[in-house]
Structure 1
C-alpha cells in the first residue's frame, strides 16, 4: 500500500485530535453534573466508571485481533510500563481533575489543568521524544495560554467559589488538583506516542491505560466505600456517567490514533480548545453569563488554532 503524503498524515492527525477535543468536552460537562464537593472517594469512583467503556472497547478489540490469528500483546516489559503509566494517568490526571471540579468548578479547574498540560507536554515531548517546537507553534501555545487566562478571569463558577470561602486550603487544593491533572494527562501522552509509533497497537495501549483505572480505582473504591457506597448512585447519575464514559472512550481512541501521526505538543494544542467549548457549554447548560472575558477568550482560542504550524515536524516523520 502506498504511503500517505505527509500532509495527509498531519491532516488526519489534526482531525482525530479535534474529534477527541469535542468528545472530551462532552465528558467534562457530564462530569460536572455528577461532581460532589469535598468527596475524594466519590471522585475516585466516578473516575473508575468513566474508564469502563474505553476498557471494554479495548477488550473487544484485543479479542478480535486474537481471533484473527494476530498477537496483539506487546512484550511483558511494555505491558508493565503501560499499566504503570495508566495508574499514573488515572490517579494524577482523572481523579485529581474530578476533585478539582468538586472544589473549584469548571471555571477554575479546566483552565488551570490545560495550562499545566500544555507546558508539561511541551517540555516532556522535547526531552523524551526530541520533538521540535517551531516558533509559530510556540507562539500558538502562548496565545492559547492567554486564552486560558482570559477565560478563567470570566469564569463566574470559579469567581463565586473563591468569593464564597476564605479558606486558603480549599483554594490551594483546587489549584494543586488542577495542575496535577494537567501533568497527569500530559506525561502519558508521551508514553502513548512512543508506543503507537513503534510496534504497539493503539488497542493495546488503550487496554492497559483504561483498565488500569477500572482495576486500580475500582479496588480502591471498594476498599473505601464498600458495595453499598459504590451502589449509592442515582439513575440520573448512571445515565450521565454513561455519556461521560462513552464520550471519553471515543476521545481516548481518537487521541491515541492522532498520536500516531502528529506530535504530543500538537495534539495538546488541539486538546486545549476544550476550554473554549466547555465555556460555551457552561453558558448553554449551566446558565453562566456570556461575558466580555468569555468572548475575548474564545477569539484568542480560535487565533491560537489558526496560528498552529500545519507543516510536518521532525518528530512526526
Structure 2
C-alpha cells in the first residue's frame, strides 16, 4: 500500500500544472467524506496534479446527497483556486442533477452562495460521469459500497435483476410513465441514474443485508442504511422497507442500547384503608362447560381482606355483562 501511495504521488504519475492549459476536476461524495482529483492533459492523456479528500463534520453530515456532491465541487474549487482562476475547468460528477444546479427553480441559501462563488471566480462546465468511472470515487466512497456494481456484476446477481424485471407488475407501469431507461438489461430511474430494483423479495432482501447486516456495513440505523442504498438504488417505498428491516434486525435489538427513557424505581402499591376499596378482577377460561353452559369464572379479590368471589360466566362475556356480574 505504501508503495502504491508513493507511485500515485510522484512522477511520472503525478505532474506539475501547466498554467496555459485547461483543467479537469473529478469530484465525488459519500455519507462521511468528499474527494476530488485535479487533472490536466499535457499530451499523455489526463494525469493527476493533486488529490483531495476531506471528512465531513457537523451540519455537513446532514446534507442531502445532492448537496454533499455539490459541496465536493465547492471544496475542490476553493482548494485549487490558485490554479483554476482564469482557466476553463471541466468538472465531472456522478450526480446527474448537478448539471442543472444553476437552472433549478428553487435554491437553498448555501446553494445560492456556492453558485455565486463559482460564477464570480471561475469558468467551468459540469458534466455527468457514472460513479464507477469517476476517479474521485475511491477518495470518498467506503470500500463496501463497491460490493454490488452493475459493471462486472456477478451473473447470479444480474440474474436476480433480470428475473425480477419480468415478474414485477410495476415495471410496465413505470415504463408507461417514462420513469425508466435501460442499459445492458438493467433499468435505471430516469434522471438520477439510480438502479431501479424490481419488486422481487430475494433481491431487495440481498441489498438490505448488504448495506446493513454484513461486517463492513456496521449495522447502521435506518437513516444511514437508507442513505447508503438510496445513493445507488431506488424502489417505491424504499424508506419504509429499510425502516422495517432495521427495526426487526435481531442483532441490533440484542446488542444496541435502548434509546427509551430508563424505567424508574419500583414503587409499592398503596394499602387499602377498608374492605372493597380496591379490588382485582381476572378470568379463568378454557374450562369444560357446566350443565348451565358456563365455561369461565370471573375472579374478584378484595385487596384489604383478601376475600375472593368466584362467579360463573361465559368466555364470550363482554364489558356490559362483566359489569353486571360485578355489581350483582
Shorter-chain TM-score above 0.5: no
Whichever of the two has the greater Rg, that structure is 2
Q: Which interval holds the TM-score relative to the shorter structure?
A: under 0.3
Structure whose residues are more often strand by fraction:
2
State the TM-score, normalized to the length of structure 1.
0.23
Structure whose residues are more often helix by fraction:
1
Query: Whose relative contact order is higher, 1 or 2, with alpha carbons under 8 Å and at least 6 apart?
Result: 1
